[in-house]
A = this chain, B = another copy of it.
């Protein structure tokens, strides 16, 4: 069997961001930690950590971390049936889309984490990258808009988010006084989350406009709303994120009546144990999204 002392040292170094702090956390000297990492690297025949520019796990190290995480989850199940065992800690690494994290995510799973004392390690990823990290064993679950299951994992639809094309009334009066047109869209700055964000393109295609358009890039869900509210551009925003602004009239649709529905799917490993199953139930029942 794997020597879990070595894996625990690796997990702690990454979690604490350094050898000295990892030693403090495990009650070991810094050199004892270094020795464990070195032993692990010799056994594995490759590095598990890169030191520069910042301390982080190599791809091989990441797979080990994910394995530790899964083992800790299973230990959590074990501790429920053998309560005399120390309650183990576990942190679950989950990839999810920025808009879910900025809106409904915490409300759906907060109570579950409260009751189970589960810690989350959340990473924001585009769906393709999120699913790849899942295939590589780097995350235990992935929330994204792809229905395509990863081999060995389950995929559950959990509802959809409604996106509206929004800008300030002043912006609409300046750039779209006569509604959307090919020419107006060549002048009007949009807001795009990042190079892989195709929501604005999809919306414009739905309206019959193809091709490129000027845009800001803003890789922050809340920043996106702030840019739109400051009149800097139009963009597709989750309706649930801007209820206040819609009611107050500070944001308005650039194409009234039009919207995009984005279906969301929850991908998780089959061998995730009881905690993962209960988390999935919490997600499915408590998300408050439009049902699939």
Residues of A at the B interface (CB closer than 8 Å) are 14-17, 21, 24-25, 53-56, 89, 91, 98, 101-103, 105-107, 109-111, 113-114, 117, 119-124, 128-129, 132, 189, 195-196, 211-212, 214-223, 226-227, 229-232
Residue pair A53, B123 in contact (C-beta under 8 Å)? no
Q: What is the total number of copies of this protein in its complex?
A: 2
> Within the complex, which residue of B120, B220, B231 is in contact with A217, where a contact is CB–CB below 8 Å?
B120
Residue pair A110, B16 in contact (C-beta under 8 Å)? no
Nearest 6 pairs between A and B by C-beta? Answer: A110-B230, A101-B223, A222-B222, A106-B226, A106-B230, A102-B222
The verdict on A220 contacting B89 (CB below 8 Å), with A110-B232, A212-B16, A214-B119 known, is: no
8 A-B interface contacts by CB (under 8 A): A25-B211, A54-B128, A89-B214, A91-B216, A102-B220, A106-B226, A113-B189, A121-B216
Residue pair B14, A119 in contact (C-beta under 8 Å)? no
Chain B positions within 8 Å of A220 at CB level: 98, 101-102, 122, 124, 220-222
Residue pair A219, B122 in contact (C-beta under 8 Å)? yes
> Within the complex, which residue of B24, B211, B230 is in contact with A107, where a contact is CB–CB below 8 Å?
B230
CB of A237, distance to nearest CB on chain B (Å): 12
Residue of B nearest to A56 (CB): B195
> Within the complex, which residue of B54, B55, B215 is in contact with A119, where a contact is CB–CB below 8 Å?
B215
The verdict on A223 contacting B119 (CB below 8 Å), with A195-B17, A196-B17, A212-B21 known, is: no
Residue pair A53, B102 in contact (C-beta under 8 Å)? no
Residue pair B102, A231 in contact (C-beta under 8 Å)? no
Chain B positions within 8 Å of A121 at CB level: 216-217
Chain B positions within 8 Å of A24 at CB level: 211-212
Residue pair B227, A195 in contact (C-beta under 8 Å)? no
Additional A-B contact list (11), CB under 8 Å, known A114-B232, A119-B214, A221-B223: A15-B195, A25-B211, A53-B132, A54-B129, A54-B195, A56-B195, A89-B214, A98-B220, A103-B226, A110-B232, A124-B219
